[in-house]
Structure 1
């Protein structure tokens, strides 16, 4: 494991699903160790399936308001994790002269899921589990005991 960053920004396309889910998980596991934010590269709207998938594990993102990277006051992050190809390209261009680490985590977009409500929610749950696995693998075990999300 690399050194744990002090400030992490998660970026996806519209800051409605993947990045707010990742930010909520990172805050859950590292509430005092890491400053966490999320943003998108385009304006987005709240996603009720993302909120439902996170509520299942006791994390409330229902009050999340999608934010654009353009709305951030600064880019003083140690690590920027991009969760969509277009977000990765945008962030690389935006931060090309900054001394910060950028990582791309290819996380599927659950908004493309079709079928019943249960099938769509399963796609969001899979994203939640993938994000949790990647966050813990990259940022290491939490310094304080935090309950694992199912």
Structure 2
């Protein structure tokens, strides 16, 4: 979002006179009550958008629109600037052991973990040594065949 031309900035060693004046005005006119009101609005947006405002989500779009309107009402000339980014969202995390006894295993997918194909996957498991660095060292995988697992 861009600021109005009359609220300019310089590229020198310090803020321009206009920027310094705007900064003083913002500090003078800002209040905890107003900030809290905006935080409540952001929470309401998240609540109505699946519980979050993550980039690329409906909650993000609604939040950007809210900020856009607020800045316009304050007299700013506002615009959107589009850019590309990678977005990932974990929709489900599940690990089930099916043999010798069927049971679910609690897991936590790491951020940017790739998805499996539709329907998941089935593969054999191979145990690694249990110690302070289980599965973190190459030697943990030296004693077994992990192909296809």
Which of structures 1 and 2 has the bigger CA Rg? 2
Greater fraction strand: 1
Give TM-score scaled by structure 1 length. Answer: 0.27
